[in-house]
Amino acid sequence: MTMLTGARERWVRTGGVELCVAELGDPRRPTVLLVHGYPDSKEVWSEVAARLADRFHVVLYDVRGHGRSTAPQPLRGGFTLEKLTDDFLAVADLVSPDRPVHLVGHDWGSVQAWEFVTVERTEGRIASFTSMSGPSLDHFGHWINKRLTSPTPRRVGQLLGQGARSWYVYLLQLPVLPELAWRGPLGRLWPRILERAEKVPAGDYPTASLRSDAAHGAWLYRDNVRPRLRRPRTDAHAHVPVQLITPLGDAYLSEKLYDELEQWVPRLTRRTLPAGHWIPRTRPEQLCTWISDFVSCVENGRTEVAATGRHADRFGGQLVLVTGAGSGIGRATALAFAEAGARVIAVDRDAESAARTAQLALRSGAPGAWAETVDVSDAQAMEKLADKVAAEHGVVDVLVNNAGIGLSGSFFDTTPEEWHKVIDVNLMGVVHGCRLFGKRMAERGQGGHIVNVASAAAYLPTRALPAYGTSKAAVLMLSECLRAELAGKNIGVTAICPGFVNTNITATARFAGVGPEEEKRLQKRAARLYGMRNYPPEKVARAILKAVERNDAVVPVSVEARGARLISRLSPGLLRSIARLRPPV
C-alpha cells in the first residue's frame, strides 16, 4: 500500500527486475526524480513529493529489491552501481524521454545518484543533482586515501571519527546475520528507533515492506562498498550542477567528508541543516524550498541559487522570525537573513514598518517574507501569533527576540508604571517568544536557535539606566539558563549585547522624571551622541548570523561592549566606580 496519495503507478522492466514507478504532478513540467535510501522505499519521500507536485512533475521509484519492485536473482551481484545506473536510465526514459531530469537522492539514493552524475553514459539525461546524506563512494575512497597517505593530526581525527560513525557498514558486510536481525527484532523495533533517535514522526512510515527491503538492501553495501573504496575511480567528476545538503546532526556521516568536494564538482551549491539523518521525513518543508529553488535556477540557465550571501549555505530556506523588525537592529537582522536566502517573518507593533521590512526582505533575496503586527508584551497576542505562524509556515528555525524599549532616569524618578512597561516589553516579550516558539522547536526535535538581544547595559551598571539595565541583565541571565536547558535538544541560545548602536531607540526612549519638552531635548541629545558614534545596526545583524552559525553563548558586539564585558570580569569594582558618575545633561 502506498502513502503517495493521487500518484499514478507504472512499471518498467530492466535487468531482469520490474521497477514500480510513481508519478505526481503535471508531466509537462520539469521532472524531479527522487531516489530513496536504505532501508527505505519510495514512500520515504511522500511528504516531499506531495509538496513538490504543485510545481513539478515528480517521479519516485522503488529501487530493485525494495517496496513493490522485484529483487534480482541471485541477490549477490544484483545491486552493483552499474546495474543501478541501468535502472535509473530505464526509469528516466519511461517518464521523461525527451528532457533531462532533476535528480534528488537521500542516503543510498544519493550514493547511487553520484554514480549517475559522474559516468559518461548518463550525460544529457540529468539536468541537476541534489545530494543529501550519501557521498560518492569514489570521492569517499579518495578522501580515505588522502588521510592514509598524507596523515596529519586533523586528518587522522577525521578518519577515526568517520570510521566510528560507519559501524553499521561493517555489520552489513557479515553474511546472514543482518537479514536475520531485520526480519526479526530489528525490523519490529525500527519505527520506534526512528521516532526516538531521529525524531521521525510516528505514523504510516516505514511501510510494511521494511523487513524485506532492509534484508535485500544489505547487498547494496556488499556489492559496492569494498570494491569502490579499494579502487575508486579517478574520473568521477560531476557533469551537472550539484546541490549538497548536509545535515549537521547526521549520526552516520561527518560533514568533513565533503571538504574536498569542489575538485570533483565544478558547479556546487552547499547547504547545511541543523537536523538528523532522515530529513525527508523530519524537514520536508525545508527540502522542498531548496529543491524548488535549485531546480528553478537550473531551468532558468543558472547554476547557483538566487541567494549567494556569506551565510546562504547555512540559512537558505530556513524560517526566521524577528521581533522589533520595523527598524534598527531588527530590520537589519531580518534583511541579513533575507540576503542569506532565509524565509523571514518580520514582527513589529507598527504594521506599516513591519510591512516595509518584509518588502525589503523580498528584494534582498528572501524566498518568502511576511509581516505580522503584535505587541510582544501581550501574552495572548503572542500566543495567537505563534499558532498562526505554525499553521501557515511551520516551526521557526531561528527566533530573534529583538523588540525592546529604552528608559533613562534615576531609580527614584522611575514610576512603578514605567518599571512595568520596561519589564513587560524587554523581559516578558523575550519570555513569551522563547516559551511559545522555543517549545515548538523542542517538540519538533530537530534543533533550532534562539537569539535574545540584550545590551552591554546588562553587565555595565549605571545610575542613568536602572530599569533598562535590570531588564537587559534579566534577558542575559534568562538566555544563559535557557541555553543550559535546551542544550540536550540541539537548540542553541545566544545573548547579543550591542553597545552604542545608531538606531531610532534613542529618539523614542523615555526619560523618567522630566516634562515633555525636556524629554524631547534629551532624546535629541541622545540621538546626536549615538549618531556621532555611528555604529550601524548592520554590524549587529552580521554578528547575530555569525553567532547562530557558531552557536555562541554571549556576544558583546561593539568595542565598548567587549571592553565593558572584559572589565566586568577582571575588575568589577572599576565598573561600580564608573557607575557612580552622574551622566551629562
Rounded to a whole number of angstroms, the distance between the first and last alpha carbons of the chain is 77
CB 328 within 8 A of CB 406: no
CB 397 within 8 A of CB 408: no
**pLDDT tens profile 68-112:** 999 999 999 999 999 999 999 999 999 999 999 999 999 999 999
Cell digits of residue 55: 510545481
Work out the percent of the chain whose per-residue pLDDT is above 90. 71
Task: For residue 242, give the DSSP letter.
Answer: E
Q: What count of residues does the chain have?
A: 585
Using alpha carbons, select from 268, 272, 265 the residue that is nearest to residue 250.
Answer: 272
User: What confidence category does residue 493 fall into, taking pLDDT thresholds of 50, 70 and 90?
Assistant: very high
Using alpha carbons, select from 45, 201, 37 the residue that is nearest to residue 133.
Answer: 37
Cell digits of residue 385: 501569533
Cell digits of residue 37: 535510501
Q: Provide the 10 A C-beta neighbour count for residue 8.
A: 12
Strands 369-373 and 407-408: unpaired
Q: Measured between alpha carbons, how far is residue 355 from residues 361, 369, 386 in Å?
A: 10, 9, 18
Task: Return the amino acid letter for 95.
Answer: V
- Using the CB atoms, write b or e for 80-97: b if 16+ within 10 Å: bbebbbbbbebbbebbbe
Burial class (CB in 10 A: 0-12, 13-18, 19+), 400: buried
In degrees, rounded to 5, the angle at the alpha carbon of residue 429 between the alpha carbons of residues 551 and 548 is: 10
| Edge-to-edge order in the sheet of strand 31-35 | 8-14, 17-24, 57-61, 31-35, 101-106, 126-132, 242-247, 268-273
Q: Which of 256-270, 294-308, 512-526 has the lowest mean pLDDT?
A: 512-526
- DSSP-derived 3-state class of residue 572: helix
Of 258, 459, 468, 535, the active-site residue reads: 468
Strands 491-497 and 554-556: parallel
C-alpha–C-alpha distance, residues 140 and 158, integer Å: 12
**459 noted as active-site residue:** no
Domains of the chain: 8-299 (3.40.50.1820), 312-579 (3.40.50.720)
Arithmetic mean of pLDDT, 347-376: 94
pLDDT of residue 579: 75
pLDDT of residue 307: 55
Cell digits of residue 582: 552622574
pTM above 0.85, yes or no: no
Give the long-range contacts of residues 472-478, CB within 8 A, separation 24 or more.
472/404, 472/426, 472/497, 474/423, 474/427, 475/401, 475/426, 475/427, 475/430, 476/452, 476/554, 478/427, 478/430, 478/431, 478/434, 478/452
**pLDDT tens profile 164-197:** 999 999 999 999 999 999 999 999 999 999 988 8
Cell digits of residue 248: 549537521
C-alpha–C-alpha distance, residues 435 and 379, integer Å: 10
C-alpha–C-alpha distance, residues 349 and 30, integer Å: 42
**pLDDT tens profile 509-534:** 677 767 777 667 766 766 666 666 66
pLDDT of residue 1: 41
pLDDT of residue 44: 96
Arithmetic mean of pLDDT, 151-165: 94
Average pLDDT of the chain, as a whole number: 91
pLDDT at 501 over 80: no
Arithmetic mean of pLDDT, 103-127: 97
C-alpha–C-alpha distance, residues 424 and 437, integer Å: 18
Q: Which residues contact 167 (CB under 8 A, 6 or more apart)?
A: none
C-alpha–C-alpha distance, residues 30 and 338, integer Å: 27
pLDDT at 3 over 80: no
- DSSP-derived 3-state class of residue 31: strand
CB 311 within 8 A of CB 549: yes
Cell digits of residue 28: 509537462
pLDDT of residue 104: 98
Give the long-range contacts of residues 557-561, CB within 8 A, separation 24 or more.
557/496, 557/497, 557/498, 557/499, 557/501, 558/456, 558/498, 558/499, 558/500, 558/501, 559/499, 560/456, 560/499, 560/500, 561/456, 561/497, 561/498, 561/499
| Backbone φ/ψ region at 534: left (φ over 0), alpha (ψ -120 to 50), beta | left
Instruction: Compute, in degrees rounded to 10, the torsion defined by CA atoms 149, 152, 154, 158.
Output: 20
User: What confidence category does residue 313 fall into, taking pLDDT thresholds of 50, 70 and 90?
Assistant: confident
Using alpha carbons, select from 397, 334, 405, 400 the residue that is nearest to residue 375.
Answer: 405
Q: Residue 453: which H helix or E strand, with range?
A: strand 448-453
Q: Which residues contact 86 (CB under 8 A, 6 or more apart)?
A: 14, 15
pLDDT at 547 over 80: yes
Beta bridge partners of 483: none
